[in-house]
């Protein structure tokens, strides 16, 4: 007995007493085939367990209608909103999405790139890992002319478009807000300065201090992976200081919330003693008491724009221009940073 995986268009044609070419056109929704005939073909194909050979079809069309995305981490609220935006736009345009994560490792990123290339994706979107220092491993894509879109964590390259927010301005706005609340000893929790997002936020923080004539102090800068453990470690560091900082700007909400919880355990009053600003507008920011002031990072919009830009490049293969698309951010002011002046 023939297995379902062995069913071909010739079996369907024999069952319906029509030609194999008619079956093929019917399955591909060809205009020359009548609606009733298409319905019979599709119904029979389903009943017989026919499986369309997508790979063979893609070889003929030179398109797989599949786009790859590589993320640093999937278990991130921000990245989950990016994926949501990507899938929404993909579905609207008839594309499929392959998702992988580098887990903040350039070696894993290289392996993911090779997998995406061998899967014959039409294009790639990527937010770079913590330790990616160059784009040599992207040569597979560049030589083949496969379009690459960078988002969030980006790297400049001729012919590639980047989708970002103005992280410098966001870092500046967050720090100026703390200064306006009367803070003068402001600590910064940041991520790897290899990555544009964290470097730009750090530089925005420094510029705000300079513009308001507040000295920059290296001991007030903590660079790490920006996770829950980071927040706890920084809180412990603060508790040992002779003179506490009076403000903290953290480059993500996870570390900011963990830090707040630990400081509160030791009786530190927020924002009266230490005002805190985070980044990303994670839902946890509205649960912590006091609610966390944070920078809204529009992940869904970023995902939608990244996909739309990539599809536009796929449909206009002669376009090879470098662009940077900057999405608006917003400082969401809540109780963790508001002081009575």
341 in any annotated domain? no
Domain extent for 145: 64-166+299-329
Task: Please tell me whether residues 304 and 291 are part of one structural domain.
Answer: no
Task: Please tell me whether residues 9 and 70 are part of one structural domain.
Answer: no
Task: Please tell me whether residues 185 and 292 are part of one structural domain.
Answer: yes
113 in any annotated domain? yes
Could you tell me the pTM of the whole model? 0.82
- Whole-number pLDDT of residue 25: 83
Instruction: Give dist(CA 213, CA 128) in Å, integer.
Output: 35
> Residue 29's domain is classified under what CATH number?
1.10.260.40
93 in any annotated domain? yes
> Which phi-psi region, left, alpha or beta, contains residue 29 (left: φ > 0; alpha: ψ -120 to 50)?
left
Q: In this predicted model, what pLDDT tens digit does every residue of 169-220 receive, in sequence order?
A: 999 999 999 999 999 999 999 999 999 999 999 999 999 999 999 999 999 9
Q: Do 178 and 340 contact (CB within 8 A), yes or no?
A: no
57 in any annotated domain? no
- Whole-number pLDDT of residue 119: 87
DSSP assignment of 185-225 equals SEEEEE--TTSHHHHHHHHHHHHHHHHTT----GGGEEES-
Q: Do 165 and 178 contact (CB within 8 A), yes or no?
A: no
- Whole-number pLDDT of residue 324: 92
Task: Please tell me whether residues 191 and 78 are part of one structural domain.
Answer: no
Closest CA to 311 of 100, 155, 98, 95: 95
- Whole-number pLDDT of residue 1: 42
Task: Please tell me whether residues 73 and 45 are part of one structural domain.
Answer: no
> How many folded domains does the chain comprise?
3
Q: Which residues pair with 164 in a beta bridge?
A: 326
Task: Please tell me whether residues 171 and 283 are part of one structural domain.
Answer: yes
280 in any annotated domain? yes
Q: Which stretches in the chain have pLDDT values below 70?
A: 1-5, 51-62, 317-322, 341
- Write down how long the chain is: 341
Instruction: Give dist(CA 146, CA 63) in Å, integer.
Output: 11
- Whole-number pLDDT of residue 318: 52
Task: Please tell me whether residues 179 and 291 are part of one structural domain.
Answer: yes
> Residue 309's domain is classified under what CATH number?
3.40.50.2300
Task: Please tell me whether residues 131 and 187 are part of one structural domain.
Answer: no
Q: Which residues pair with 68 in a beta bridge?
A: 98, 124
Task: Please tell me whether residues 18 and 68 are part of one structural domain.
Answer: no
Task: Please tell me whether residues 309 and 250 are part of one structural domain.
Answer: no
Task: Please tell me whether residues 96 and 149 are part of one structural domain.
Answer: yes
- Whole-number pLDDT of residue 21: 82
Task: Please tell me whether residues 271 and 179 are part of one structural domain.
Answer: yes
Q: In this predicted model, what pLDDT tens digit does every residue of 70-115 receive, in sequence order?
A: 999 998 899 999 999 999 999 899 899 999 999 999 999 999 999 9
339 in any annotated domain? no
77 in any annotated domain? yes
23 in any annotated domain? yes
For residue 224 the two structure tokens come to 């790490």
């Amino acid at each position: 007995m023939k297995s379902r995986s062995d069913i071909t268009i010739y079996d369907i044609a024999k069952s319906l007493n029509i030609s194999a070419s008619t079956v093929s056109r019917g399955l591909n929704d060809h205009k020359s085939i009548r609606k009733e005939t298409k319905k019979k073909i599709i119904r029979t194909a389903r009943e017989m367990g026919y499986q369309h050979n997508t790979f063979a079809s893609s070889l003929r069309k030179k398109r797989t209608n599949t786009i790859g995305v590589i993320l640093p981490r999937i278990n991130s609220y921000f990245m989950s909103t990016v994926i949501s935006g990507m899938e929404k736009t993909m579905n609207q345009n008839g594309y499929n999405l392959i998702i992988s994560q580098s887990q903040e490792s350039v070696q894993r990123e290289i392996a993911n790139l090779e997998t995406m290339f061998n899967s014959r994706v039409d294009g790639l979107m990527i937010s770079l890992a913590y330790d990616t220092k160059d784009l040599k491993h992207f040569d597979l894509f560049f030589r083949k002319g496969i379009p690459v879109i960078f988002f969030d964590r980006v790297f400049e390259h001729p012919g590639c478009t980047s989708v970002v927010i103005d992280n410098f301005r966001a870092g500046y706005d967050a720090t100026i807000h703390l200064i306006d609340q009367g803070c003068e000893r402001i600590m910064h929790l940041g991520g790897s300065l290899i990555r544009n997002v964290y470097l730009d936020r750090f530089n925005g923080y420094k510029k705000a201090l300079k513009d308001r004539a507040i000295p920059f102090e290296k001991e007030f800068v903590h660079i790490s992976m920006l996770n829950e453990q980071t927040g706890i470690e920084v809180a412990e560091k603060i508790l040992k200081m002779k003179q506490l900082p009076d403000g903290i700007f953290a480059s993500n909400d996870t570390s900011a919330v963990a830090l707040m919880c630990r400081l509160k355990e030791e009786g530190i009053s927020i924002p009266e003693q230490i005002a805190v600003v985070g980044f990303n507008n994670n839902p946890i920011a509205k649960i912590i008491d006091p609610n966390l002031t944070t920078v809204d990072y529009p992940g869904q919009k970023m995902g939608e724009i990244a996909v739309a830009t990539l599809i536009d490049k796929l449909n206009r293969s002669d376009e090879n221009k470098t662009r940077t698309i900057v999405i608006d951010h917003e400082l969401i002011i809540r109780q963790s940073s508001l002081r009575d002046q």
